[in-house]
Amino acid sequence: MFADKKSSFSPIEFPMQWVANMDVDVQPKAARKTSIICTIGPKTNKVEKLTELIDAGMNIVRMNFSHGDYDYHKSVLDNARAAAAARPDKVIAIALDTKGPEIRTGMMANDTEIAITKGHEMNFTTDDKYMNACDAENMYIDYKNLPKVIEVGKAIYVDDGVLSFKVLSKGEDFVRVQAQNNGKLCSKKGVNLPKTAVDLPALSEKDKNDLRFGVENGV
């Protein structure tokens, strides 16, 4: 916010006049109060890149435990601490974001992308034989209770809602769906079941192990 020139105008009663009287040449009265969180990936997991992010305003280094192994996350910790040591005047925090209760698609055959057009019908299956062999007819979903909890007519969102599907029918280990829009299906995308009660645990064994890793490494 710019400082005003001791204006007698109230910012509530005369907002335009109050803004017009602000002095744009003075330093702001208040520092930024919102922290900037940066998720670190392979391209930014270098001391020099992390230092650049700190210089650009990063306050918190986020480690996304939905991806990567412990060796990778340990390297993020080491590099972040080295970058923070190079900028002793800055306070840098490290956040561990657990995977949490989530549902994902399987791996596409040959790790390819599949173009989906509106009206396309396919199966969302919990059969493990499709776990690493998904195609335009069968997409593996890693939530075994999907056919039990979903109802015909309900929606299923894939890739944070980029693709929407309507449930047409269901069997013991599959759900028949119809695409409601165009898009692409890729490996390991998030799946959401709006207005459907799911029975996923709030804290999985993976989450517990990840939290132990964080404690052991001073996060």
Q: What is the pLDDT of residues 29-60, one digit of tens each?
A: 667 788 999 999 999 999 999 999 999 999 99
Do 158 and 133 lie in one domain? The reply is: yes
CATH of the domain at 183: 2.40.33.10
How far CA 114 is from CA of 12, 125, 201, in Å, comes to 54, 16, 31
Residue with the bigger pLDDT between 141 and 13: it is 141
In whole angstroms, give the CA distance from residue 36 to residue 54.
10
- Does 110 share its domain with 178? yes
38, two tokens? 């940066």
Mutual angle of helices 70-85 and 47-56, in 10-degree steps? 60
The verdict on residue 8 lying in a domain is no
Answer yes or no: is 6 within a domain.
Answer: no
Q: Phi and psi (nearest 5°) for 125?
A: -115, 150
* Residue at 16 is within a domain: no
Q: Please indicate, yes or no, whether residues 90 and 152 belong to a single structural domain of this protein.
A: no
Residue 140 lies inside a defined structural domain of this protein: yes
**37 lies in a domain?**
yes
Is there a contact between 143 and 125 (Cβ–Cβ < 8 Å)? no
Q: Read off the pLDDT of residues 100-131 as tens digits, 9 standing for 90 and up.
A: 888 999 999 888 899 999 999 999 999 999 99
Q: Are residues 107 and 167 in the same domain?
A: yes
> What is the domain extent for residue 148?
103-192
Instruction: Tally the domains of the chain.
Output: 2
Is 143 among the domain residues?
yes
Q: Are residues 80 and 115 in the same domain?
A: no
Same-domain pairing of 108 and 185 = yes
The verdict on 73 and 141 lying in the same domain is no
What percent of the chain has a predicted confidence (pLDDT) above 70? 92
pLDDT at 202: 84
Comparing C-alpha atoms, which of 25, 7, 27 is closest to residue 17? 7
What does the pLDDT average to over 174-200? 94
Task: Please indicate, yes or no, if residue 2 is contained in any of the structural domains.
Answer: no
Domain membership of residue 203 (yes or no) is no
